Structure 1
Amino acid sequence: MDGPAKRQKRPLSLLELVIGLSLTAILLSSLFTTFRHIAKESSVVQRIHGKTHEKAILQLRLQQIFNTLSKESKLKLLDNNLSFSYDNPYDLEANFCTLLGGDLGLSGSSLFLSSTSPTNERREQKLFENVSEIRWEFYDLKTKKWSDTLKKKRVPLQIKLHLTLTDKQELLFTFQLPKGGFQ
């Protein structure tokens, strides 16, 4: 006899090839579906995180402003714009590192802070976008009630800022004034 029988290589049959390609297609399609689902969920999470981050930054900036109201500041409410003076100790521009006049109100569909330096230079900061309405409330310590009108003789203890967004969502911010209720 001739030595050990050699095994012959046989080519893949058409059936094996079709089965292999089908399994590969199923695997690739499930991987693509999973990737697409993860990408969509990530986009939703990023959008929610961005909106939450914007609200937190607005809260911090307004808290900084209201905590540094000057002792001589007279709050004035004119056409839903709140005017005041505040101390701005940190700024890149030297003219704005001092006591500033401030106007907080709606311009178009954005909440703006307009600051005026002692040299009458003016700077506007867009604090929040897509705002359709703004409303103020002031807490009077003497009457122990919230009011839409600002009493000229007394500085309120707290201020509420109601922002109605263009998608009809309402945001509420409340700030304690450092010298409120004592005049």
Structure 2
Amino acid sequence: MKKYFFTLLEVMISLFILSIILTVVFRFFTQIINMEKKMKKAKENVLFKHNLWVRLNGLFSNLVVGKSVKVKDDKLYFYYDNKIDLNPKFSKTIFSILFLDENKNLILYSFPDEKDMKLKREEILARDIEKIRFIIIKKKSLIVPSKKNKIALKIKIKNKNKNFSFTFFVFSAPIIYFEEL
């Protein structure tokens, strides 16, 4: 039996084919890594918006009827029902201020009362916010009976290079829906 040795041409062809296969495989893996980075960034953005919306919705869905909501100096002043809290002074109706501080944090200050601002609770709702704007829109509603006002509170937020806004509808009196069984 005769030994068969590879020729130089066969070795060159096999190295060429191997390099093509490795190039395709590495390009595929770099695309996967880039896709994962984009997905991670998109996921962080969606979670940021969702968590902020959940917290703000928890605040604005519990606004106290009859108490004013006002915007002054890019700050939102409002009363909301905090329900039951570990600290009894922060249970039930509390006064809050929502604003953007000098470190670009969206801050919620909560006080037991508007007159007693010595005891304060601070909560950072979001970081790296460049700009925030509060808009209160009052219009007569077509859905709600005409004697009741519907207030829309719109919050526009600019975060890094993304702009987004939240709109919360606040009714002056509770609406009760009846469903037939």
> Same fold judged by TM-score > 0.5?
yes
Q: CA RMSD in A?
A: 3.0
- Structure 1, unaligned runs of 5 or more: 1-6, 145-154
Give the aligned residue type for 2:87: N
Q: Secondary structure at the match of 2:87?
A: helix
Aligned residues: 162
Q: Which residue of 2 aligns with 1:110?
A: 105
How far apart, CA to CA, are the structure 2 residues paired with 1:54 and 1:110? 13
How far apart, CA to CA, are the structure 1 residues paired with 2:53 and 2:41? 19
2:66 touches 2:172 (CA, 8 Å); kept in 1?
Answer: no
Q: Which residue of 1 aligns with 2:32?
A: 38
Per the TM alignment, residue 40 of structure 1 is displaced from its structure 2 partner at its CA by 0.8
Q: Which residue of 153, 167, 175 corresponds with 2:168? A: 175
Equivalent residue runs for 1:7-22 within 5 Å: 7-22=1-16
Q: Which residue of 76, 91, 95 corresponds with 2:87? A: 95
How far apart, CA to CA, are the structure 2 residues paired with 1:90 and 1:22? 72
Per the TM alignment, residue 83 of structure 1 is displaced from its structure 2 partner at its CA by 1.7
Per the TM alignment, residue 117 of structure 1 is displaced from its structure 2 partner at its CA by 4.8
Q: Tell me, yes or no, if structure 1 residue 57 matches structure 2 residue 56.
A: no
- TM superposition score normalised by structure 1: 0.72
2:150 touches 2:171 (CA, 8 Å); kept in 1?
Answer: no
Give the aligned residue type for 2:120: R
Q: Which residue of 2 aligns with 1:133?
A: 131
Q: Which residue of 2 aligns with 1:158?
A: 152
Q: Secondary structure at the match of 1:177?
A: strand
1:157 touches 1:180 (CA, 8 Å); kept in 2?
Answer: no
Superposed CA offset, 1:62-103 (max 9, x none): 111011123463324331211222223476xx1276233311
Per the TM alignment, residue 45 of structure 1 is displaced from its structure 2 partner at its CA by 2.2
Superposed CA offset, 1:133-160 (max 9, x none): 2222222246x8xxxxxxxxxx862211
- Structure 2, unaligned runs of 5 or more: 142-148, 175-181
Ranges of 4+ aligned residues in structure 1 off by more than 6 Å: none
* Identity across the alignment (%): 25
Larger radius of gyration: 1
How far apart, CA to CA, are the structure 2 residues paired with 1:98 and 1:80? 27
Give the aligned residue type for 2:172: K
2:65 touches 2:173 (CA, 8 Å); kept in 1?
Answer: no
Q: Which residue of 2 aligns with 1:82?
A: 76
Superposed CA offset, 1:6-49 (max 9, x none): x2222323322222222222211210011001211221122122
Per the TM alignment, residue 166 of structure 1 is displaced from its structure 2 partner at its CA by 4.1
